[in-house]
Chain A
């Protein structure tokens, strides 16, 4: 179980990105984080695996405060938390295989990994992960030769290599077209359902939220302004959505609905 308590993040330049945010995530949840651009979604996700150091507050994961970890302990916690990025963040000049194997770095002896000698078990695991995501035939291409959707699948395969108990996905489909977006979301959903991996995912489109979320939180200007279950989200009205996205978001709200129609249309 992940318990975020009174999390606050103030950047060096004085920007308050998160204000006193508290919420809980049960193991096996598919938590979706919604909010306007700049509301603090990325900051929240990055605080959890400590790519960013929170200013105040606790991030209790199975009783351990991630916010306090340093060095070896932090790395050991991190290797159990996969991360998927909007821009995929693959090493573009390396092969797909190397990118996927790099998900094992947290489990690999430093000297072995510096010389690129991963164990047979890891290689096997990497092939399995690629197969699972349907890109095993791309294994020896360079990462930047792949299409966006394929790259994101490599990103997920890399996270999968960590044997993660939790996956943080920061707008994993924002740079993909709607059909691909569903395919990627379905992969994440499978990991959530079949492997029981907790997923924290930030999303922009209401239809995706309604389709995949088991729980939803909403951020606005760094404040937690909404918490709801799947049922709540399915019943969510424009007015509520507007509340999360702010008064100025009226036009955006209708745009979102238009987006929703086209995406569901093409997915079915």
Chain B
């Protein structure tokens, strides 16, 4: 038998009886606390209280100094820093005043304790909490006003995220163009005029020749343009092509010229022959310029946009990342969970060693977030779904291993004994006594994990682990909120559907 140690003398701990009186009177304590906050309390034989106050004070001053330095980062003189930081962020001044109040309060607290050191006034700790809270507010850059004032600006962007469907479809587009040639300068033989065409888009100019505008601002020839067979209600752009082949858009008063054809597809407009610097050698004789009326028109039925296709493809990828990770996670965790179950492994020292080994391993793996694992696997196997699957697999295996093993540990030990008593070996015992008991919790935990994995796989792409998260992150950075909205919608829909499905499975099998 193990000899019991003699019982420790059990004295009820009573502060009033045990504490000796204060070393100093109220004045002494006040002076000590003025010199060093907390010193008065220590002299009043309240060492721990004094140390707490001192430590809080030092921490608070340090934090305050840091924030002030950060606010007035271009100043070097102490006084300048103080003035500047208070001016730039008056809230810092409020904090500084609170610290002052705390300082005074700690002196007051010391005098109270010097008079009667068995008391426990809590005011000073209340102030410490308040100051820390205020510092937290400043460090966290908390600004409730911004939540309201900047909401308007976020409105349109959020609206696009919430209702992104215009981005889900596009129309096939074709380029409609009609070209007319202009001669410059005019020659004795008149330049032949173009004629309207019956089927194709056409453009006719009048006159058929002219001179460009000059650099000094004197305008060139006024040209009357008429066109037909264009698509109605769609913007037409006018482009010039100079004799050496450069293209540029027609401007009028600084703005690009564009127009919308009539319902019958015709239009007419007057434009000024624009200025263009042409190399002198090319000026010798008459040159041919060209005017082109261009229209990018949607034709035919709407089709699914490229973004929408991408979202669907990546969503499928996402679901499969979650599925494969859950699958591999189960495969890995099933055997592990039996090693991590104490009631199965406490037979002898060797098995107990494996128990602790698995437990530790599972805990370490589980304590690292899947996103971190994803980053690690992206480094190892490169960007893409494979890295995401590996990351989620590892995390699932550890999490499921722990959940499973706890389910095993909480089973009824009776059947285990009974099966052992029949002469069954370990595997048979597990199969006949453990497995039937753990099936319901296992199914339940597995569904739970599958849920988590699908959710995780939607964001694992943020760090390059494949799936829809990658698109989402990219579109948010490109400020393409409609496309991002598509991704968000699909994530929400998928998660909702899976929620429903898993609830059904749970209801049926657990």
Q: Which residues in A have some Cβ–Cβ distance to B below 8 Å? A: 14, 49, 51, 75-83, 85, 87-94, 98, 102-108, 110, 113-114, 155, 158, 161-162, 168
Contact = CB atoms under 8 A, between A and B. Distances in A.
Interface string B424-435: 110110011100
B422 A102 contact: yes
Contacts of A161: 422
Q: Which of B415, B421, B427 has the most CB of A within 10 A?
A: B421
Contact of B437 (A77, A85, A91): A91
Interface string B10-23: 00000000000000
Nearest to B2: A14
Contact of A113 (B415, B421, B428, B433): B428
B277 interface: no
Given A89-B418, A91-B415, A91-B432, 6 more contacts: A79-B423, A89-B415, A91-B436, A106-B423, A113-B428, A114-B431
A114 B435 CA distance: 11
Interface in B398-429: 412, 414-415, 417-425, 427-428
Interface of B: 1-2, 412, 414-415, 417-425, 427-428, 431-433, 436-437, 439-440
Contacts of A85: 414, 417-418
Contacts of A94: 432, 436
Contacts of B419: 91, 102, 105
A113 B428 CA distance: 7
Interface of A is mostly: mixed
Nearest to B1: A14
Contacts of B417: 51, 83, 85, 89
Nearest to B434: A91
A78 B433 contact: no
Given A85-B417, A93-B436, A105-B432, A75 B1 contact: no
Contacts of B423: 75-80, 105-107, 162
B407 to A, nearest CB: 13
Contacts of B418: 83, 85, 89-90, 155, 158
B208 to A, nearest CB: 93
Given A14-B1, A90-B415, A114-B427, A102 B432 contact: yes
Q: What 9 A-B pairs come out closest when comparing CB atoms?
A: A106-B423, A79-B423, A89-B414, A105-B424, A89-B418, A78-B423, A83-B421, A75-B423, A91-B415
Contacts, number: 87
B436 A78 contact: no
B428 A78 contact: no
A5 B417 CA distance: 24
A114 B428 contact: yes
Contact of B439 (A87, A93, A110, A114): A93
Nearest to A110: B427
Contacts of B2: 14
A90 to B, nearest CB: 7
Contacts of B414: 85, 87-89
26 contacts: A49-B421, A51-B421, A75-B423, A75-B424, A78-B423, A80-B423, A82-B422, A83-B417, A83-B421, A89-B412, A89-B414, A89-B415, A91-B436, A92-B437, A94-B432, A94-B436, A102-B419, A105-B428, A106-B422, A107-B423, A110-B427, A113-B432, A114-B427, A114-B431, A161-B422, A168-B421
A131 B229 CA distance: 96
B422 A91 contact: no
Contacts of A103: 422
Given A14-B1, A78-B423, A158-B418, A93 B432 contact: no
A155 B421 CA distance: 12
A85 to B, nearest CB: 6
A206 B421 CA distance: 28
Contacts of B433: 91
Name, among B425, B439, B440, the residue most crowded by chain A CB atoms within 10 Å (CB to CB).
Answer: B425
Nearest to B427: A110
A9 to B, nearest CB: 14
A93 B437 contact: yes
A192 B427 CA distance: 32
Contacts of A162: 422-423
